Chains A and B, each alone.
Chain A
Amino acid sequence: MNPAPFLDIKQLSVEFQTRNGVIRAIEDVTLQLAKGEVLGIVGESGSGKSVTAYSVIGLLDNAGSPVSGSATFDGIPVTGASESTLRDLRGREISMIFQNPRAALNPIRPVGLQIQDVLLRHGLAAPQTAKAKAIEMLGKVKIVNPERRFGSYPYELSGGMCQRVGIAIALSCDPRLLIADEPTTGLDVTTQKATMDLIRALTEERHMAVVLITHDLGMAAKYCDRVVVMEKGRVVETARIEALFSDPQHSYTKKLIAASPGPCSTLAELAPGDEARSFSSVAPSSHSEETAVGRKNVLEVVSLVKEFPLPRTIGSLLPWTRNSEEASTFRAVDDISFELKRGESLGLVGESGCGKSTTSTIITRLMDPTSGDVIFDGQNITTYPAETFAQRPERQKIQMVFQDPTDCLNPRYSAHDCIAEPLKRLRGLRNRSEIRSKVETLAKRVGLPVDLLDRFPHQLSGGQKARVGIARAIAVDPLLLVLDEPTSALDVSVQAVVLQLLDRLKREFGMSYIFVSHDLNVVRLLCERVIVMDRGRIVESGLAEDVFRRPSDPYTQRLIEAIPHFEPIGSGRPEAEG
């Protein structure tokens, strides 16, 4: 059984013309796909996985062009083909679905018509029957009430529904190859699982070949037959799933597998070795002694409630159309209470909209609660409004690490200035050389090379920016550090290193952590206890390992099941779980 490859890419190289010269996006890429097979292309940012996919469908940006090599689809050469040939292939034989599903749909055109357009273009329906076929497609992607949804606009649909529409458009003409470019980015964890399951069901039913592009090894393990690993524009390893996870060949693959958090991984395994040397030996700070002796509560949250006013619609203003059951406010945080001891880390887990970010914002006193108290180190800090909290002495004891490392640094401040800011404002330091030496100490503690301190954010990598953010947060020796999804914007390998750093800092400084995340795997690595939130309420809390192994609440169970992962090497059962 050796059929000619359905999709055959041979030594393809693509170059881009940019303002800074010519860049080779992919170099010498060779891969094959058989009919009906699911191939995963895995890599971190900059690996060239998307460029490879776009070359297959001929949709490279104007600046990009294939320089050497070839790509052939079922015998038809794709590189160098004429635009009209490609246009006939696209949608009919090869289809694609994208990240950011809502942005991928025409915002002012009803979704049903967008499906119809494709059907009519490829002649798969006559104008009279196109609408019926489109509605049928909507039903196939499990959209409820497809007749009504035919006329809906993208802004009326959720992210998951928009992606289903995207799938409907892509599959409407029954193509033989589907390229899915990170189709679950931006979606909730449970929605991600539903979307991927739908894609698998539909493509298996039609015996379609699929190319799945992802940065998530767990997802590749669960949904793909074979995997191609790419790094910096080159193919590093190609293998069947079982072989890849049981016996990875290339060092990058091994690094990637180790760095992906799974149910059995430990922090030390994530990124073996290289970070140990870049830390200077520093005397542990004053707080860490207390953690050994009887632990007091550093934080108590009591009956916290936060309501946001809903925008008033016309309907609510006119007395005869007013709906008496409609709420006028939205409860983002609905009466939650929990405690945190000195030196402990608590994970705050939930999907988007569950209220975890609102809770963390209130705890750091950037926002006032509607009611309830936050008692920090014995003091009720909610008695002071958020506006004036900046001047309180407690300000320096609670600090935060933000989610987006780029957004949290002022583009006009160098790394040194960013880290120096709390020292100047909260400690009142004025002496330039004193500030400089303190900043350098902090940089060494977080593993940021000192010569990078004078660079500006746009000259630093994602991991380096994350370190600057962490250095700034620990600059004034806080008791409590709130981390709001600090690694979700980072590549997996960088995430591994940053998590190890955070763990080491916690032990050195004796800080208490509140770690907000949607990823239970990551939380389990760093936190002793975890709280699961859903729609503003705490649905489960307890020790992280217990919650993970034996979740009692059905929502928690669904959350855990939805995260795709794989069993680690040598566990005896190298297959996908989840």
Chain B
Amino acid sequence: MSNKLIQIGRRLAQALPSVFGVIVISFVLTRALPGDPAVYFAGDMADKDSIEQVRQSLGLDKSWAEQFTIYVRNLINGDWGTSLSTGRSVTEELLTRLPASLELTLIALGLAILAALPLGVLAATRPNSWVDHLCRVMVTAGVSLPTFFTGLFLVYIFYYFLGWSPSPLGRLSIVYLSPPHVTGFYTIDSLLAGDQETFVASIAQLILPAATLGLFALAPIARMTRAAMLGALASDFIRTARANGLSNRVVLVTYAFRNAALPVLTTLGMVFSFLLGANVLVEKVFSWPGIGSFAIQALVASDYAAVQGFVLAMALLFVCVNLFIDVLLTMVDPRVGLDE
């Protein structure tokens, strides 16, 4: 067990250079603007004095090393700049909007996993059956679908054509009030408040965007599950298990699937990265008030502090998710740490 703890500690330590690298690149991006950064950060309305003020506070007249130190110090203090379009601090904006994005992404990921795992496993255990063909078609089509297009298409079919879905304009129809804030997740909060109607309404609004994102995540997960299961089933140790008469269930679950789960877990990290990107597109299509749509507004308004804050936030979130998956892998796979 102590070896495991050492490995976990190692993983945590390895995340630090990633965080550092992310901050460095973030810093470079804020300074890579063509022209005078101070002008950009001060905004269109600024006059000479406020530009100078911005220049002072960001230390833009100092050396690179000093600028970087100021930048990092500001980050740690929570000063990520002010959003020009809303006037509030960037951290405030991000934090208020984060739960909306997280709710959407997590539910989408959950749906994708629930659908993809069985599909991949069945496709691998019944090669050349209809399930296998279905899986292969869904995977190839799935990685070809542009997320924004799927979203629009679903809106057209289910809202306009069939009339089943509510209007794709945000998290909750205007009729309802948002539930009292506990986690920021409307679904959980409304359940906690005992408000059934709001719960159903929030789910109704969630279905289409979550399905869109989920479809996007389904393809790579199903593909990897199928490939990993096929690989595991073709291994020598499965042949040994079968040669010793072990039952189908034991061979599939205890021997094959557990081994296949490892590369699938690794894929989940990559999928999460794509999901964070696709999130932006889906939030635009469904007018979902999360950090993605905030970033788009900021882009249009040339609100650089907000955009860079968004990029940094997403990167840090991703580093955390990867770390979590790494630690999970370390605990599950006894061979981790062998070749180091």
Contact = CB atoms under 8 A, between A and B. Distances in A.
Interface of A: 57, 59, 62, 87-92, 95-96, 98, 100, 103-109, 117-118, 121-122, 153, 155, 166, 169-170, 311, 314
Nearest to B332: A108
17 contacts: A59-B239, A88-B245, A91-B243, A100-B236, A106-B240, A106-B255, A107-B335, A108-B333, A108-B334, A109-B258, A117-B244, A117-B254, A118-B245, A118-B246, A121-B244, A121-B245, A311-B339
Contact of B240 (A108, A121, A153, A166): A166
A118 B239 contact: no
A144 to B, nearest CB: 21
B242 interface: yes
A87 B240 contact: no
B246, B247, B254 interface centre (most CB from chain A within 10 Å): B246
Contact of A87 (B239, B245, B340): B245
Contacts of A100: 236
Contact of B245 (A90, A103, A311): A90
- The 6 tightest CB contacts between A and B, nearest first, are A91-B245, A90-B245, A91-B244, A103-B236, A96-B243, A106-B237
B237 A105 contact: yes
B244 A104 contact: no
A92 B245 contact: yes
Contacts of B340: 311
Nearest to B10: A314
B6 interface: yes
Nearest to A121: B246
Given A103-B235, A109-B255, A166-B240, A122 B245 contact: yes
A103 B335 CA distance: 14
Given A89-B245, A90-B244, A117-B246, A108 B236 contact: no
A29 to B, nearest CB: 20
Contacts of B178: none
B141 interface: no
Contact of A155 (B6, B254, B338): B338
A304 B246 CA distance: 53
Interface string B296-340: 000000000000000000000000000000000000111100111
A264 to B, nearest CB: 38
Contacts of B125: none
Given A100-B236, A121-B247, A314-B10, A108 B258 contact: yes
A446 to B, nearest CB: 36
Contacts of A170: 243-244
B254 A95 contact: no
A121 B333 contact: no
B89 interface: no
Interface of B: 6, 10, 127, 235-237, 239-247, 250, 254-255, 258-259, 262, 332-335, 338-340
A98 B6 contact: no
Contacts of A122: 245
B259 A95 contact: no
B269 to A, nearest CB: 19
Contacts of A88: 245
Nearest to B3: A314
Contacts of B242: 59, 90
Given A91-B243, A91-B246, A121-B244, 6 more contacts: A89-B245, A90-B243, A108-B258, A108-B333, A122-B245, A311-B340
A550 B236 CA distance: 42
* Centre residue among B254, B333, B339 by max chain A CB count within 10 A: B254
A344 to B, nearest CB: 42
A117 B237 contact: no
Contact of A98 (B236, B258, B262, B335): B236
Given A87-B247, A117-B250, A314-B10, A106 B239 contact: no
Nearest to A166: B240
Contacts of A169: 240, 244
A359 to B, nearest CB: 26
B219 to A, nearest CB: 27
A98 B10 CA distance: 37
A155 B335 CA distance: 7
A106 B262 CA distance: 14
Contact of B259 (A91, A103, A106, A118): A106
A56 to B, nearest CB: 11
Contacts of A109: 254-255, 258
A95 B243 CA distance: 7
Contacts of A153: 334-335
B337 to A, nearest CB: 9
Contacts of A92: 245
A104 B236 CA distance: 5
Contacts of B246: 91, 117-118, 121
Contact of A95 (B127, B241, B244, B333): B244
B233 to A, nearest CB: 11
Nearest to B248: A87
A121 B254 CA distance: 13
Contacts of A106: 237, 240-241, 255, 259
B208 to A, nearest CB: 40
A372 B241 CA distance: 51
A90 B241 CA distance: 10
Contact of B237 (A103, A118, A121): A103
A107 B244 contact: no
A493 B332 CA distance: 48
Contacts of A311: 339-340
Contacts of A96: 240, 243
A314 B237 CA distance: 31
Contacts of B245: 87-92, 118, 121-122
A89 B246 CA distance: 11
Residue of B237, B247, B333 most packed against chain A (CB within 10 A): B237
A105 B246 CA distance: 14
A533 B262 CA distance: 41
B320 to A, nearest CB: 24
A58 to B, nearest CB: 9
B338 A121 contact: no
A121 B259 contact: no
A57 B334 CA distance: 32
B152 to A, nearest CB: 43
B243 A57 contact: yes
A104 B335 contact: no
Nearest to B338: A155
A107 B231 CA distance: 14
A109 B238 CA distance: 12
Nearest to B128: A62
Of A106, A122, A169, most buried by chain B (CB within 10 Å of CB) is: A106
Contacts of B244: 90-91, 95, 117-118, 121, 169-170
A114 to B, nearest CB: 8
B278 to A, nearest CB: 32
Contacts of A104: 236-237, 239-240
A497 B317 CA distance: 65
- Residue among A59, A92, A117 with the most chain B CB within 10 A? A117
B259 A108 contact: yes
A108 B247 contact: no
A117 B239 CA distance: 14
B198 to A, nearest CB: 45
B11 to A, nearest CB: 13
A153 B6 CA distance: 19
A317 to B, nearest CB: 11
Contacts of A105: 237, 240
A88 B245 CA distance: 6
Contacts of B241: 106, 117
A86 to B, nearest CB: 8
Question: Taking each of B244, B339, B340, which has the highest tally of chain A beta carbons within 10 Å of its own beta carbon?
Answer: B244
B314 to A, nearest CB: 33
Contacts of B338: 155
Nearest to A100: B236
Nearest to A110: B334
A107 B259 contact: yes
